[in-house]
Amino acid sequence: MVTAKELMLYRKIGNLMIIGLVNNDKIFGLVA
């Protein structure tokens, strides 16, 4: 069983990864 705390942690990590990917796309867009 996954606890609520673990779910929140996974959601935070997932959000950070998504934000990082979006920022990377912006940076690559500026460079290209």
Does the predicted model carry a pTM greater than 0.75? no
What are the helix (H) ranges across 1-32? 4-31
User: What pLDDT score does 31 carry?
Assistant: 74
Structure confidence at residue 2 (pLDDT): 82
* Domain boundaries of the chain, sorted by first residue: 1-31
Alpha-carbon torsion, ordered 4, 7, 12, 18, to 10 deg? -160
pLDDT of residue 30: 78
What is the model's pLDDT at position 32? 59
Query: What pLDDT digit, counting tens, does each position of 5-32 carry?
Result: 999 999 999 999 999 888 888 888 877 5
